[in-house]
Structure 1
Amino acid sequence: MTTTTAASTPFDRDGQGHARHQAVAPGEIAIGVIIGRTSEFFDFFVYAIASILVFPKLVFPDHDPLTGTLYSFAIFALAFIARPFGSLIFITIDRVHGRAVKLTIALFLLGGSTAAIAFLPDHGSIGAWSWVVLALLRIGQGIALGGTWDGLPSLLAMNAPEQRRGWYAMIPQLGAPLGLMVASALFAFFVANLSAQDFLEWGWRYPFFVAFAINVVALFARLRMVSTPEYERLYDSRDLLPSPVLDTVRQQSRTIVIGAFAPLASFALFHMVTVFPLSWVFLFTRENPARFLVFEIVGACIGILAIIASGVIADRVGRRSLLGGSAAAIAVYSGFAPQLLDAGAAGEILYMVVGFALLGLSLGQASGAINANFPASHRYTGAALTSDLAWLFGAGFAPFVALILAYEFGLLAAGAYLLSGALGTLAALGINKELARRLS
């Protein structure tokens, strides 16, 4: 991006005659970040909702609904297991062929894997091969997600004003509730307007087609940003250059581990207010799934407001303080909230509203508090690995574990799972504080 006026050339020059690039406007970076993250989370939630409403009947019809859903959630977790391997593959592609090539391959793989699920044959057509194909496509999604890390949040942080780092740290997180809103709205429309037979035969497939189109839009938005002179300058100066994975792990292992555990509270809560409650009410209550998807849309709106609020609060009290306070609040929430899912519509709404409010406050700063501890030379790769591990430990198995605990021991047991995530966050933040004191 350049400045052109009557008194200037396309590139202003300093006293030594070197080209001086104008910094990328944070607002422009923010748009690219939001579009990119929304596309990723839309793919995520389209699959998650189908894991509850569709795949147990389509892929596992020989099992009871609960067992079919648990099998579906087991396949759901494969993407989180595959994601770190995807990061290893695509970091190598990035180092050899550049970020634009990496993003193009990753986003087409993500969109292609998601769209291919729309053509999934049911169990009646190909038998057990149906779940094998689904598992392979889910692994493809996970590998692709490992390659979608573009460094734009780091670029945004580098261009953000010093006193507003918390505000800009929350911007990438807006993609989660936005993606949930679009995915929930699509499924709610088809569930409400089609018969059960039509929905299971063809209606559920349309959101997966939409996912491919959204990924194409996200690809061009991201490529526009990574082709800017400021991005290329930071890439060439190693601020956004991927470092070797083994070297990063060897030198930054402590920061990676702390970073992976610091957001456990928000990532565990992430699935406890999105995927798990839909599975519980669908399996064990008479709640209409279309209406509960509307509840999730309302909750996502609350989440957006809370994420925005997290930016304001973090700039006043600090990101670590906000993460610690929200983790403590999530611990309290875990002690009473899950039981609300058996208290009718009013209880469900209260569960979603309070849960999404806490999720927004914690998720809004989850990625920024620890990643800032990485030195510039390892920040890109370190942040990618930290994100992969945090999602794997905090969210990958959350729907499966929470559902089986709630069924076997009651909803309070699902709250105990959420409590463990909150305690993990508080422990990681405490260790990180001690580490920062020793290094200062």
Structure 2
Amino acid sequence: MSSTVTTSVATRGMSPRKVAVASFIGTAIEWYDFYLYGTAAALVFSKLFFPSFSPLAGTLLALSTYTVGFVARPLGGIIMGHFGDRLGRKSMLVLSLLMMGIATALIGVLPTFAVAGIWAPVLLVVLRVVQGFGVGGEWGGAVLMAVEHAPPRSKGFFGAWPQVGVPAGLLLANSVFMVMTSALGEEAFLQWGWRIPFLLSAVLVLVGLFIRLQVEESPTFQDVVNSGEVDRHPFVTLLRTQWRSVLLAAGIKLSQNSIFYIFTVFVLTYATTVLGLDQSVALTGVLISSALSLFSLLFFGWLSDRYGRRRVYLAGAVLSALFTFPYFWMLDTRSAMMIWLAMVIGMVAHDMMYGPQAAYFSELFDARVRYSGASLGYQVSSLIAGGLSPLIAVALLGVAGNHHWPIAAYMVVVGVISIVTLAVGPETHRGDSRGPRGVDGTR
């Protein structure tokens, strides 16, 4: 593609800033829904839906229902990626938002085990699957809208805006939980107060829906349409021509996704069940580190525009692997200040990877199959790392007698896998905005 066409893609249509902010707000609402479940699974669902088990077994079962959402994410990525490459990014973003919001609001009216017996956790799992399917297709569309509207030399920065929606959603979910538990007390919160954060999703979805309907279709996708290059079977074409890029994306993401869910979900269980601390200590740490991410993700996205996606990402992967054991040593001090410091350092290392990730994954794939490719690589890794990490961590905790070293060792292993994958992966930040055409990277 000529530089003239590339420039026109970046400059026509809506302002990249408006698209980035819209992507951020919509993504924040969707991830509020998704992380709300994670917080509830770690803190209250074991008592409400699995009350006949021991605290550790109940938590393990509650986190298993949490993991089910990750099983559905690759399927959502494949199906919505297919239609996103054929029909456009915008329509899939609207659909994903509706699926997430409706499923989350319905969780807020579910009967508990005491009322419905075994049907209570069954219905919980069904709604979690719907959540996972929706969020599986959401990420690819949100980041592509931001990246494909962005100027050629600022794709890392603008691509980081929907990434910021993730800690914003986490921050909002945990804030609502803290406010409700503080205002109502533990007994009232367990009886009925836990439902309010889920029901609030219905209001937020209306806001997100209004915003997303105002955003114009991606100019890059529109170029594909105008040139008559829309692929009728993008997923098949992806697996035939760019399967190496899918594997690269999955391997690169492994460390980032694994440590994120250990730092933000498992840490809630570790702090309360192993360290014997009040849940507010860990929740406060999550809030502090998430608030910092609102700025650090944008910084590292911008940094990747200057120094390269792979270089910044690799620095974060190395730092994360080196910090795993010190992270748990700091938690074990039981000092709130040390715990919060550990969570902040861990999140900064994570953000060095997650900030450039949107632009990096987008640039790995040709525009004709980009939604399918970025979504599949992202969501397969999310299933392996994000969905299983809290479950693996709790299981290792039980096997090791509440010692943290197997969990830290697991985090080092996934870190090494990402480091090796990055070492063999390409640098992309000076490439063509339409992406590679085929496995050899040529057009």
The TM-score normalised by the length of structure 1 is 0.88
Q: How does 1:288-367 map to 2 (within 5 A)?
A: 288-344=278-334, 345-367=336-358
Shift in CA distance, 243/169, structure 1 to aligned 2, threshold 3 Å: farther
Q: CA deviation at 1:102?
A: 3.9
Aligned-residue offset at 1:131: 1.0
What is the identity, as a one-letter code, of the residue corresponding to 2:57? T
Partner of 2:432: none
Question: What does residue range 391-430 of structure 1 map to in structure 2 within 5 Å?
Answer: 391-409=382-400, 410-430=403-423
Deviation at 1:301, TM superposition (A): 1.6
Matched AA of 1:233? Q
Root-mean-square deviation (CA, aligned residues, Å) is 2.6
Q: Paired residue for 2:433?
A: none
- The C-alpha deviation readout for 1:130-174, integer Å capped at 9, x for no partner, is 111111111111122233356342243233333323222322210
Partner of 1:17: none
Letter of the 1:391 partner, please give it. Answer: S
CA 1:88–1:336: 2 relative to 1, 3 Å:
same
Displacement of 1:96 in angstroms is 7.5
Question: Of 387, 402, 413, which aligns to 2:378?
Answer: 387
Q: 2:225 matched to which residue of 1?
A: 236
Shift of residue 106, structure 1, vs aligned partner: 2.9
Contact 1:242–1:378 under 8 Å retained in 2: no
Question: What is the aligned partner in structure 2 of residue 15 from structure 1?
Answer: none
Equivalent positions of 1:209-220 (< 5 A) are 209-220=199-210
Q: Is the 8 A contact 1:264 1:422 kept in 2?
A: yes
Which of 362, 384, 393 lines up with 1:371 in the alignment? 362
Asked if the contact 1:188–1:291 (Cα under 8 Å) also holds between the matched residues in 2, the reply is no
- For the 8 Å contact 1:117–1:137, the answer to whether it is kept is yes
Structure 2 CA distance for aligned equivalents of residues 319 and 231 of structure 1: 21
8 Å contact from structure 2 (residues 70, 132) kept in 1: yes
Identity %: 28
Counterparts of 2:181 and 2:85, CA distance in 1? 45
**Which stretch has the larger CA shift, 156-165 or 173-182?**
156-165
Q: Is the 8 A contact 2:74 2:380 kept in 1?
A: yes
Cα deviation per residue 1:10-38 (whole Å; 9 max; x = unaligned)? xxxxxxxxxxx933211011011101210
Aligned amino acid, residue 144 of structure 1: G
User: 1:185 is aligned with what amino acid?
Assistant: S
* Aligned equivalent of 2:73: 83
User: What is the total number of aligned residue pairs between the two structures?
Assistant: 419
- 1:246–1:296 CA distance, 2 compared to 1 (3 A): same
Of structures 1 and 2, the one with the larger relative CO (CA 8 A, separation 6+) is 2
SS in 1 for 2:215: helix
Once the 2 structures are TM-superposed, how far is the Cα of residue 47 of structure 1 from its aligned partner? 0.3
CA distance in 2: counterparts of 1:153 and 1:243, whole angstroms:
22
Larger radius of gyration: 1
Amino acid at match of 1:120: L
Structure 2's unaligned 5+ residue stretches are 1-10, 429-435
Q: How far, CA to CA, are the matches of 1:99 and 1:53 in structure 2?
A: 36
Alignment of 1:86-97 (within 5 A): 86-91=76-81
Does the 8 Å CA contact 1:296/1:352 hold for their aligned counterparts?
yes
Report the Cα offset of residue 394 of structure 1: 2.2
Which residue is equivalent to 1:12?
A: none
Out of 212, 218, 227, the position equivalent to 1:222 is 212
CA distance in 2, matches of 1:326, 1:88: 28
Q: 1:44 to 1:341 in 2, by over 3 A?
A: same
Q: 1:165 to 1:143 in 2, by over 3 A?
A: closer
Q: Which secondary structure does the structure 1 equivalent of 2:346 belong to?
A: helix
